[in-house]
Amino acid sequence: MDEDRKAIDKTGEELAAELIRGDRRALARALTRVEHGGRESAALLAHCRAHVESQRQNEGKRALRLGLTGSPGAGKSTLLEALTRQLRAQNKTVAVLAIDPSSPLSGGAVLGDRIRMREMAADAGVFIRSMATRGHLGGLAAAAEDALMVMEAAGWDLLLIETTGVGQGEVEIARCADVVAVVLAPGMGDGVQAMKAGVLEIADVLVLNKADLVGIEDLEQDITSMEMLNEAVSGRPPRLVHRTVAARGEGVEALLSTLLETAQSGNNSGRRNPEARSAPVLDHLGIAVRSIEQAEGFYQLLGMTNLGRETVVGERVRVAMFAAGESRMELLEATDDEATIARFIARRGEGLHHVALRVPELDKVVDRLRSRGIRMVRDEIQIGAGGHRYVFIHPASAHGVLLELVEKA
């Protein structure tokens, strides 16, 4: 009990030092700490991140991250185990982060990979950690990226990330893996159609598992047709397609070779390239109101959560923010009669003022737009509510819409 208490009381620096030395128990405790969050979690991550950056810059050492996703029943876990065996045969150490969806009713998760890979877990060169999504959208747990940083600091050669990608939204794995394989299997039928507009788009490699089953030819034809259409529309070359029978190890060695080559060369879909990740998502809608106090009651009546208020001095505006799923509604009230919002209301009355899209690497996006002759309301990037950076695109260039591009702080 005293030892357990001492372990809990270790500082982030002490715990980081132990896991960097290769202490598996320290690694397990560190992963629990980052999953729970808090001040000591931040300190731990800071030390782990500093160590990883030092390793990358001074020694050129970097853990490759291989992502595996796809619908339930496609055989991801069996394939994950087969890939792990191949890597161990090459004397590579492997840390597995397996993400399982949480029940929306009980909040629990099966965490099945600990059961399926029990034999592999006894190998000193393999570390397995299961993590529940706990309601986090996108197919990953909220602490997944932090967990991967801790695992890399612990010195593992390869990090394997498995998540259940069940449709169009579970695509966050693309942001934390060097290469992503989407696993399909015969008999999915309309499931493949449902995935086309989402999770299939993030694949670097398409894996047709259970290739010994009836229907594999139809599945490959469907995928081939999809790739030909994508090439015609976007000009993107077709992705590699591998057949595997993971339960027997067939095709796994060739698949692993492709995954490693793609990850090492950076010849993937470009998710670690900011230019390729620049597809924007809706950040918020800005609504001009005469009085926040009078207007916010309506949104509270809808059951929307008030995220707080802030005054942006530079824009001469008060802002009240309400959660709207993954996005926000922002009520904008002028602080004086000469403010932009005041002039907007004088001309048009209350209503939708602007649409805000969130982009990564705002500077590069703005430079690209300017090079194409896109007109900005102001030339310089501003600092707005919550500390995010933003710029407005003039309605003349955005087809009548005042469009804001934001980059979160």
Same structural domain for residues 111 and 150?
A: yes
273 is a domain residue: no
3-class secondary structure per residue, 356-383: EEECCCHHHHHHHHHHCCCCECCCCCEE
Residue 270 domain flag = no
**Residues 124, 212: one domain?**
yes
Q: Are residues 353 and 317 in the same domain?
A: yes
- In terms of domains, do 258 and 390 share one? no
> Encoding tokens for residue 258?
């492709």
pLDDT in tens, 284-305: 899 999 999 999 999 888 888 8
Q: What angle do CA 249, 181, 364 make, to 5 degrees?
A: 155
pTM for the predicted model, two decimal places: 0.61
Residue 235 lies in a domain: yes
pLDDT over threshold 70, residue 22: yes
Residue 288 falls inside a structural domain: yes
Total structural domains in the chain? 3
276 occurs within a structural domain: no
pLDDT in tens, 115-146: 556 667 678 899 998 887 544 444 455 578 88
**DSSP 8-state code for residue 56:** I
210 and 239 belong to one structural domain: yes
| Model confidence at 259: pLDDT above 70 | yes
User: Is there a single domain that holds both residue 96 and residue 225?
Assistant: yes
Average pLDDT of every residue of the chain: 81
> Per-residue confidence at 219, pLDDT binned at 50, 70, 90?
confident
Q: Which of 60, 77, 99 is the last residue of a domain?
A: 60
Q: What percent of the chain has pLDDT over 90?
A: 37
Regarding whether 178 and 215 lie in a shared domain, the answer is yes
Specify the higher pLDDT residue, 219 or 173.
219
- If asked whether residues 107 and 241 sit together in one domain, one would say yes
| In a domain? residue 170 | yes
Same domain flag for 214 and 293: no
Domain boundary among 11, 34, 60: 60
Q: Are 145 and 225 in a shared domain?
A: yes
Is the domain of 48 the same as that of 67?
A: no
Q: What is the CATH number of the domain that holds 285?
A: 3.10.180.10
Number of other CB atoms surrounding residue 23 within 10 Å? 15
Contacts of residue 263, defined as CB under 8 A and 6 or more positions apart, other chains included, come to 64, 65, 66, 178, 179
* Angle of the 24-36 helix axis to the 2-9 helix axis, nearest 10: 60
Determine how many CB atoms are found less than 10 A away from the CB of residue 213: 12
Provide the pLDDT for residue 62: 87
Do 165 and 253 lie in a common domain?
A: yes
Instruction: Give the end of a domain, one of 18, 38, 60.
Output: 60
Range of the domain at 33: 1-60
In a domain? residue 157: yes
- CA-to-CA dists, residue 71 to 107, 206, 243, angstroms: 20, 13, 16
Evaluate whether residue 271 is within a structural domain: no
32/311 Cα distance (integer angstroms): 38
CATH number, domain of 250, equals: 3.40.50.300
The model's pLDDT over 77-120, given as tens digits with 9 standing for 90+, comes to 899 999 999 999 999 999 999 886 644 443 444 444 545 566 67
